Structure 1
């Protein structure tokens, strides 16, 4: 049994979780769930300090459907070209109001960026750290947040699923699975979450995981937790996204949270 686990149940009307390795293009897809580093970034933002301890983060979530939103803007070369053109117009003493619109319409044009966006997102996030002092700081920051709450883009705000209850302290049971039959008998179905995988393993469990969902290379943590934001280097790991069809593991340890009030259990793996 792992005690001192923080559980957040949150709701987002809209959310876009961008894959870090995807460069900006005219169409930007979204991940099904935020990454562990996205949640860690939220924590650092709320406590207003660098987190120096190693976190365990688990994420389970659903959404109603996907939509496409668009944003109007300029191409990446716009501002460099505009600056050069602006200097030329100043020398010729031509007012800005007479050439700004002309330059954008005739020389560069508008750019339309399409974002894939999730609608009606419900997330359950589990957070654990062995550092007692840092755990208390995080718990207090989540119990009484003083900053704007968002996950994904800045506009992707979130609110508690239950009014007035953003975070709970819960216990999570660690169960060792020795066979798929055991997982089925104990109803240890993993769904709507990421599960870590190894691409270099001949283990049957890993092979089954790879066949059970969509493979992603996602940021797991930062190489140096104390580095400034501009100097942070992400450490990537491979994960498979498991949808609502679920997956029964055949071996390994899984985490189980049992909601006694709702009479249901949530099975997940630490990311």
Structure 2
């Protein structure tokens, strides 16, 4: 199959865990939904284009920084309690509390992302958007600029490996569905995450909708594990021998 390999760099980035608030923690690699959202924004897609993604990369260190936090509690504005006042189209006022919180930032992030749209006709569209974006690309927060170092179309194929282990130059997400052998091998060397990929909108009341996310269960496997990964069965590689785990 054909796909796109995107190699990129970020000076600072935060891929926020949805359950972190006071300390805005970061995933070690961007989740699938974040990457898919960046691609759709770059291409100007207004509807979801089905695609599979493989994500790997590494970062040098972590730092903490301050950020301005806004809380929207849905309460009416009260002088002395709220710092900001908002008004909806019906003239009802709401109070907003402004404070300071902490954000976890990854430093000197290197990413290798494989993108395989379900319809190969989208490959030249995505390639053009990543090579010559209409505006700057960001991944994570809006201010987390994405510097594209290389983007190319690659051939991805399945191969049967005769070795017990294969090399991984980067940390990588390994979806549980792609693991044929004993999953306990991965539990001992990696961290389990349930990562967002795509969502559907459900109406819970008139005019109010919520997102219901499709999750990808995956292990984050660090390359520090002697740069080896258990792969006793069939795995995928691109034409430059980089391992690929699509989800």
TM-score class normalised by the smaller sequence = 0.7 to 0.9
Aligned length: 222
CA–CA separation in structure 2 for the residues paired with 1:85 and 1:63: 45
CA–CA separation in structure 2 for the residues paired with 1:152 and 1:126: 17
CA–CA separation in structure 1 for the residues paired with 2:48 and 2:66: 38
CA–CA separation in structure 1 for the residues paired with 2:57 and 2:197: 18
CA–CA separation in structure 2 for the residues paired with 1:176 and 1:118: 35
Deviation digits for residues 179-200 of structure 1, max 9, x if unmatched? Answer: 6xx143xx444740111126xx
Q: Which residue of the partner structure matches residue 58 of structure 2? A: 62
Q: Which residue of the partner structure matches residue 30 of structure 2? A: 34
State how 1:194-205 maps to structure 2 within 5 Å: 194-197=173-176, 204-205=181-182
Task: List alignment gaps of at least 5 residues for structure 1.
Answer: 87-103, 225-229, 260-264
Once structures 1 and 2 are overlaid, which stretch shifts more, 56-65 or 214-223?
214-223
Name the TM-score, length of structure 1 as normaliser.
Answer: 0.72
| Larger Cα-atom Rg | 1
Q: Which residue of the partner structure matches residue 14 of structure 2? A: 16
State how 1:155-194 maps to structure 2 within 5 Å: 155-161=143-149, 166-177=150-161, 182-184=163-165, 187-189=166-168, 191-194=170-173
Point out the structure with the larger strand share: 2
Q: Which residue of the partner structure matches residue 234 of structure 1? A: 213
Deviation digits for residues 105-149 of structure 1, max 9, x if unmatched? Answer: xxx7x6321111000011111111231322232222222211221
| Aligned residues: CA RMSD | 2.8
Q: Which residue of the partner structure matches residue 206 of structure 2? A: none
Q: Which residue of the partner structure matches residue 218 of structure 1? A: 195
Say whether 1:116 aligns with 2:104: yes
Say whether 1:142 aligns with 2:130: yes
Q: 1:35 to 1:139 in 2, by over 3 A?
A: same
CA–CA separation in structure 1 for the residues paired with 2:169 and 2:234: 12
User: How many angstroms does 1:252 deviate by?
Assistant: 4.0
User: How many angstroms does 1:34 deviate by?
Assistant: 0.5
Name the TM-score, length of structure 2 as normaliser.
Answer: 0.78
Q: 1:248 to 1:140 in 2, by over 3 A?
A: same
8 Å CA contact 2:58–2:109 kept in 1: the answer is yes
